[in-house]
Amino acid sequence: MDYLGDIQAFLPGVITAIAGLVVIVIESLKKESPLNFYVTILSLASALIISILSLGGEMQTAFSGMLVHGGAVAFGNMVILAGALFCVFISEDYLRGINHYYGETYALILFATTGMLALAGANDLITLFVGLETMSICLYVMAGLIKDEKSGAESALKYFLLGAFSTGFLLYGMALIYGATGTTNIPEIGAAASTELLFLAGTALLLVGFLFKVSAVPFHMWTPDVYQGTPTSLTAYMATASKAGTFVAFILILSRALPVMEGLNWQLVLSVIAILTMVFGNIIALVQDNVKRMLAYSSVAHAGYALVGLAAGTFEGYNAVLYYLFAYTIMNVGAFGVIAYYERNKGLDFTQVQNLAGLGFKEPLMGVALSIFLFSLAGIPPLVGFVGKYYVFAAAINADMVGLAIIGVLASAASVYYYLRVMVYLYFREEHQPISLFTPTLMYKGTIVVLALLTIYFGVEPVLPAEGLMDILSGFGGYGGATALIP
């Protein structure tokens, strides 16, 4: 056993796990110490740098084939860690502002991140399950952080019950697949895949579990309530990093354990789910007055766009999904970040869109940044959201799924209405009563500005990550089971 090599392979996860423990120790010595924040930032940043440095390498196994690292996993790690890092930057001010600052929150974020990293790098169903549960249990606690309010309790309970339920499906699916193939190792499952009933049933249950976690229709019911009840900065974390982790695991399962063959056409199933998700998510978002709920439904719709890339079932499609996760993480953390800023102002419930009237001009930087994020979410060029959507739909079209792409773009045309609506209130309507917004701290402003600049930069210059993606593709190619998927 090469212990050092193994640890090195999972170094980002090791760093975040240790940092989580350190935060707990610090918290027990001194309540609400500012040190927690610095430890968290430092560990996440160093883990992020490590995963960025390992971009472009080949995908390799570690821990006796329980984990993979490098390639697509490194990219996934980067997205997860970037999401976590930006959310922590936002959380520090926000959680203190709403008087729900607990040092343990950072420990939860760090442990959840560790879980996500394990989930994204899972090469074995056991690792996958452990990662998923580590992540989920931390998220359940975060959902209930505002425990003195009804919505917080509702959010946590709903998330926990439904989450446990879906985990049951997932676990049952894994058991059946193990029964059918006699292994829990993902590439070995791919090699032993068959169309016997046991394997098909296991696959179906596994898909249900994953679709629940990425909040695809019809398994999305928990999303709006949970997103609304969770503190906004942590909602951002939930909506981006956890989705990134789950989608990366989903990609690795689909591409390596479930070859498309006669009688096992999960592409068709995912296409139908993708259409439902895009259409329903967008239509229901149209009528939401609460911005957090609106963003929740929008995140359902965005899961639908990502599913389009998965349904394509090609390397191009998987790459597109990876890029999409990156784009989605940047712009969504930004959007939630600005909403969190408005929410903290006294006087009105600023998560209600009507109450945002006229605020765009009050704190111009925040208004402009929110507009950029929303236009990007709507997929307007030259912003990163457009590039993400472009890759996904291009993959679908190249896989002869033009119909799917057309439904996708029409759904995204409908989505423009509710993103525009926020800007209508921000800029086009007069405020109801004189409101004075507080000035955000330099760190908060800086975070939002960096996110906005990234949103523009990767929209105008999509070259760098695209090249990275091509390297991921080659990393993929070196990996056994997946080649069966190239048409």
Catalog residues that contact other proteins under the rule CB under 8 A.
361, 364, 375, 380-382, 386, 390, 393-394, 397-398, 402, 405-406, 409-410, 412-413, 416-417, 420, 423-424, 427-429, 462-463, 466-467, 470
- Crossing angle for the helix pair 384-398 and 291-312, nearest 10 degrees? 30
d(CA 212, CA 197): 23
Residues 6+ apart with CB under 8 A from 180: 192, 194, 196, 198, 199, 202
CB atoms within 10 A of CB 464: 10
CA quadruple 397, 75, 483, 478: dihedral, nearest 10: 140
Query: Which residue's CB is nearer to other proteins, number 98 or number 283?
Result: 283
Nearest residue (CB) to other proteins, 349 versus 400: 400
Paired tokens of 348: 């009105």
Chain position carrying tokens 């996110």: 451
- Toward other proteins, which CB reaches closer, 27 or 316? 316
Closest separation in Å from C-beta 397 to other proteins: 5
Q: Taking Cα atoms as reference points, which of 157, 197, 147 lies closest to residue 177?
A: 197
Q: In sequence order, which residues have a C-beta less than 8 Å from that of residue 390 and are 6 or more positions away?
A: none
Q: How far apart are the first and last CA of the chain?
A: 38
Cβ 28 to other proteins shortest distance, Å: 48
- Of 66, 206, 168, 174, nearest in space to 123 by CA: 66
CB-nearer residue toward other proteins: 22 or 405:
405
Q: How far is the CB of 377 from other proteins (least distance, A)?
A: 13
**What minimum distance in Å lies between the beta carbon of 360 and other proteins?**
9
Supply the minimum distance, in Å, between the C-beta of residue 429 and other proteins: 8
Residue 283 or 394 having the CB closest to other proteins: 394
Per-residue DSSP letters for 375-387? HHHHT-TTSHHHH
| Nearest distance in Å: CB 169, other proteins | 35
Token code pair at residue 79: 């997205």
Shorter beta-carbon distance to other proteins: residue 187 or 462: 462
Smaller CB separation from other proteins, 102 or 457? 457
What residues contact 339, with CB distance under 8 A and at least 6 apart?
232, 291, 292, 295, 350, 351, 370
In the complex, minimum distance from the CB of residue 361 to other proteins, in angstroms, rounded to a whole number: 6
Output the smallest distance, CB 364 to other proteins, in A: 8
DSSP 60: E
C-beta of 42 vs 402, nearer to other proteins: 402
Task: Tell me which H or E stretch contains 68.
Answer: strand 67-69
